[in-house]
Amino acid sequence: MKNELPGIYIHIPFCKTKCHYCDFVSYPIHKSAVSVELYIKTLIHEVKLRKEWLASLPSAGIPRRFQSVYVGGGTPSVVPSGLLQMLFEELWKNFDITDEAEVTIEVNPGTIERNGLTLYRQMGVNRLSIGVQSFDDSTLKKLGRCHTTADAYSVINGAKAAGFRNLSLDLMFGLPGQSCKLWFDSLSKATALSPEHISCYELGIEPNTPYGKWHSQGLLSVPTEDDVIGMMENTSTYLGSRGYQHYEISNYAKPGFQARHNSIYWKNGPYLGFGCAAYSYWQGRRFGNVNDLDLYRESVYNNRLPEADSETLDIKGSAGETIMLGLRLRDGVCLKTFEKRFGVSVWQFWDEEISLFTERGLLEVSSGCLRLTDQGLLLANQVQAAFV
């Protein structure tokens, strides 16, 4: 089955500027000690190392054909297309990637080159994930984004002109100073462009960010919990009525356009990650590359895989993670697939938990799947915690 094939993730840990809310691993592109060119060359080397590693593993039933490639960041669009092409060539040379593979690049509207989109298209990229975040310029400014709505329109229209038929827009809500009206204004501008996929992320305030600092100092006026809940619920209704299916906590897609690569994560399927701070999940082992650029480069050039941490869970641990992730999907966890994979039913492990949350109306079994109810969706952590 195609949807059981693994995916490939490539991390580009550079940004032109760091947004005020972001706590991901990324380095300012102009101040970084390791140049983008050097980084891509290192990545290419890692691809070769990883190929040898894969060849040395016993097969263990995981297919070695890949159904997706996802370039994320950071800001992948800061990488000149030529360098990205070198990387892609190496990747396709070393790994068996299907012809129909979903190939996605994250694009920041403020960084894309004029002819970049066409080159992406020629390289085989068939899906763009565009970090629009908001269609309101003052909101973008407050977020510390390095682009305007005009940039976003230009990228989206340019992508369509370049022949892209699978676009995803990222939007954020629950932002400081953002009213419900302002949020739905952005949402309607997004749907007017008719992208195939929309991600709507609630702002999370992370401690080690400027937002975290300002929030603790009482300088951010974030919407009330009631307002945020209102935004969430109405978003689902609004997008639903416009043909977007709510298929994951924060993700909406037109039929047939659910993100295939990201769905691997939510189904707890296998993937290989390349690059600084990239994670992999392979044969039940989850492992991550080092966060530090210099250490990453040093390790790869010494022909050592740059793994910094690694974890293998027991059956119940893996099964729990599978539920934790699967409950993010509106369809939930398919019970048959689960039983086939782990050799037990969910009730054998979590009978009490499931009946408790079912009684409380947060969890249900429907169409052979264990899933969160609409009410349960808002309290996902409470339910998921019972399974880890």
Total residues interacting with other proteins, rule: CB under 8 A: 45
For residues 271 and 338, which CB has a smaller minimum distance to other proteins in the complex? 271
Cα-based distances in Å from 54 to 39, 46, 239, 282: 22, 12, 42, 10
Under the phi-then-psi rule, with left for phi > 0, alpha for psi from -120 to 50, and beta for the rest, what region is 353? Answer: alpha
- Shortest spacing between CB 129 and other proteins, in angstroms: 11
How far apart (Å, rounded) are the C-alpha atoms in residues 256 and 156?
20
Q: Rule CB under 8 A: is residue 382 a binding residue for other proteins? A: yes
Strand bridging mode 27-28 / 14-15: parallel
**327 in Cβ contact with 372 (< 8 Å):** yes
Q: Which one-letter amino acid corresponds to residue 255?
A: P
**The one segment of 60-68, 113-121, 147-155, 195-203 that binds other proteins by CB under 8 A:** 195-203
Subset of 215-274 contacting other proteins (CB under 8 A): 225-226, 228-229, 232, 249-250, 262, 264-266, 271, 273
For residues 84 and 231, which CB has a smaller minimum distance to other proteins in the complex? 231
- Shortest spacing between CB 255 and other proteins, in angstroms: 23
Length of the chain: 388
Q: Rule CB under 8 A: is residue 302 a binding residue for other proteins? A: no
Cα 11 from chain centre: 11
Among 22, 148, 288, 295, binds other proteins (CB under 8 A): 288
**The one segment of 109-117, 143-151, 324-332, 333-341 that binds other proteins by CB under 8 A:** 324-332
Q: Rule CB under 8 A: is residue 325 a binding residue for other proteins? A: yes
Q: Rule CB under 8 A: is residue 67 a binding residue for other proteins? A: no
Q: Rule CB under 8 A: is residue 281 a binding residue for other proteins? A: yes
For residues 225 and 314, which CB has a smaller minimum distance to other proteins in the complex? 225
Say what the alpha-carbon torsion angle 235, 227, 208, 271 is, to the nearest 10 degrees. Answer: -20
Q: Rule CB under 8 A: is residue 80 a binding residue for other proteins? A: no
Q: In 142-275, which ranges are E strands?
A: 167-173, 197-202, 245-248, 251-253, 271-274
Q: What are phi and psi of 263, to 5 degrees?
A: -65, -30
**The one segment of 42-50, 180-188, 214-222, 371-379 that binds other proteins by CB under 8 A:** 371-379
Strand bridging mode 285-289 / 279-282: antiparallel
> Which stretches of the chain bind other proteins, using CB under 8 A?
9, 11, 72, 201-204, 225-226, 228-229, 232, 249-250, 262, 264-266, 271, 273, 277-281, 286, 288, 311, 320-321, 324-325, 328, 360, 362, 377-382, 384-386, 388
